Structures are given as structure tokens and as C-alpha cells.
Amino acid sequence: MAKNKFHEFRERLKQCRLCRDMIGFEPKPVVWGTPEAKIVQISQAPSKKVHETGKPFNDLSGAKLREWYGIHEDIFYNQKLFYMTDIYHCYLGKDIKRGDAKPPLNCAKKWLHEELSLIYNEIYLIIGRVPTNFLFPKKNFNELIFNDQTFNGKSAYVLPHPSPQNIKWFKDHPEFYDRVLPKIKGIVHEVIYKK
């Protein structure tokens, strides 16, 4: 029954055209994973490459995440292990000044909470400032990264976006590599490999 609800939800999401007029091209909602996935990873919005391939984090940022987690591509894309979604499910096009356009919150408000209620995950990994601000409003982004969180009654871990465009944040917070990454890698491995 639960799987039926998930598949019905997924079909409704794939048909969504809420923002077609805003973005000016045909939307292509992207979701990756199954309801029994152990880890839910939430980020901002698909890139153009993800829009074209349907495969999330199929870029340099994805390679960096796999490095952080200490896992191979086959584990990262195992849909029974990782459920990957975004607060905006479609590629938005480009913002000339800032790269990919900032997602409108109407998508997240319409879909995200229902979507997450259908996944039986153990932990959340929240990637970047935009989804973090949506899920933890009025809380300090850096403090969220350096302290464990709870979301939907489950452990949640906030990470900066691994994009090369985020290089200043990493230079300003070198302690991230010693304080956060080893812990994240250990948690991911524990969830994935526990018997």
C-alpha cells in the first residue's frame, strides 16, 4: 500500500507543470530513489546536466559528494540506499549573475513534505543554503553545519554545497574538513553497511 502511494505521488509529480510559464521551457521533474532508501539527500534544484540525463548530481558536485561520503558511484546511485530530491524538482535555467536561478518556494510547498512522508529513511543529508533555509527557517547556516540536527524526528546533517562556486565558504571555514567530514563519512558508512 505504501509503495502504491509513493508511485501515485511520483506520477503526479512527473506531470507537474506549475512553473512552465516562469522558466520558459518544458519542466522535467527529477526524483531518484525508492521509498525504502536509507538516506534522503535534499538539495536545491537539478542542474542543466541533470535535466538532460535525469541522473542527480551527475557532475563535479556529485563527484565531490561521493568523495566526502567515501563511497563509489554504484553506492551513491543505488536507489535503495540514496533517495535524492530537491526543494525545486526541475532545472530552472540560468541567472546571469549567480549561475542557476534561485528556486521559487511554491514547488517545495506543494510537493516536498508529502514526498518526504512517503520515504522510510534513517537520516537526512541537506546540501546547501537554500534547502537548509527552507527546512530550518531563521537558523544560522554555519551553526547548522557544525552541529547535528533533527528533522521529521530523524537525524539530519547539513552540508555546504560542494560546487566549485562555493570555494570562498571552504576557505573561510577550514575546520569543516576536520570537524564535519570525518563524522559525515562515518555516519553514511554506518547507515549503508550496517547489517
Tens of pLDDT, residue by residue over 72-85, are 999 999 999 999 99
Half-sphere exposure of 101 (CA within 13 A, CB side): 16
3-state secondary structure of 116: helix
pLDDT of residue 189: 98
Name the amino acid, one letter, at 28: K
The model's confidence at residue 96, banded by pLDDT at 50, 70 and 90, is: very low
pLDDT of residue 99: 47
pLDDT at 95 > cutoff 60: no
pLDDT of residue 146: 98
Residues 91-112 have a mean pLDDT of: 70
pLDDT of residue 133: 95
20 against 79, higher pLDDT: 79
Which residues have CB under 8 Å from 152's CB, separation 6+?
116, 124
pLDDT of residue 151: 97
Residues 16-42 have a mean pLDDT of: 89
Residues 163-169 have a mean pLDDT of: 91
pLDDT at 98 > cutoff 80: no
Tens of pLDDT, residue by residue over 127-144, are 999 999 999 999 999 999
Lowest-pLDDT range of 73-77, 89-93, 161-165: 89-93
What are phi and psi for residue 63, nearest 5 degrees? -60, -40
120 against 50, higher pLDDT: 120
Name the amino acid, one letter, at 30: V
Residues 5-30 have a mean pLDDT of: 88
Select from 161, 99, 173 the least CA-distant residue to 125: 161
User: pLDDT over 90 for what percent of the chain?
Assistant: 69
pLDDT of residue 36: 96
Indicate the class that CATH gives domain 2-193: alpha beta
pLDDT of residue 130: 92
Select from 158, 157, 151 the least CA-distant residue to 191: 157
pLDDT at 12 > cutoff 50: yes
pLDDT of residue 97: 46
